[in-house]
Amino acid sequence: MDEKKSDTKFQNFVEVSKSFVGQKVAVLCARYQYRGVLSEVTDDCLILANPTAVEISGASASDRPQTEDAVDGSLVVKSEAVEILYQPNWSQAPLPGEEGYGNES
């Protein structure tokens, strides 16, 4: 694929990602998965507020991830590291600082 087509496809990813700003999302990267509120999208990164590092997500229809750890502050993920930006059911579970976070359902 030539560089111009690659840049256009990446720009499309950025534009689509911006439609999720303010919503709870999950971000799947090659090694790790995160969830939080997508607070900002730039040409080279996604910023999550109230983030968690999801170790074991479980089924997409689950109410919450099986295992996750809170990440202090905001989390900045390089856009080129993102494989999938999505909203499985468990991505909507309470986040750090929200009522119900860490409680079993």
Q: β-strand 82-86 against 75-78: which pairing, if any?
A: unpaired
Q: What is the mean pLDDT of the chain?
A: 91
C-alpha closest to that of 23 among 12, 39, 42:
39
The HSE-up count of residue 55 (CA atoms within 13 Å, CB side) is: 6
Check pLDDT > 60 for residue 34: yes
- For residue 42, is it within any domain? yes
Cβ(50)–Cβ(96) under 8 Å?
Answer: yes
Residue 103 lies in a domain: no
Where residue 87 sits, what CATH number does that domain have? 2.30.30.100
Question: Domain span at residue 48?
Answer: 3-92
Q: Does 104 reside within a domain?
A: no
Return d(Cα 30, Cα 70) in angstroms, integer: 20
Residue 8 lies in a domain: yes
- Identify the residue with better confidence: 43 or 7: 43
pLDDT digits (tens, 9 = 90+) for 61-105: 999 999 999 999 999 999 999 999 999 999 999 999 999 998 764
| Within a domain: 100 | no
90: exposed, middle or buried (Cβ count in 10 Å: 0-12, 13-18, 19+)? buried
| Inside any domain, residue 105 | no
Provide the number of structural domains found in the chain.
Answer: 1
Rounded Cα gap, residues 79 and 98, in angstroms? 27
In a domain, 80, yes or no: yes
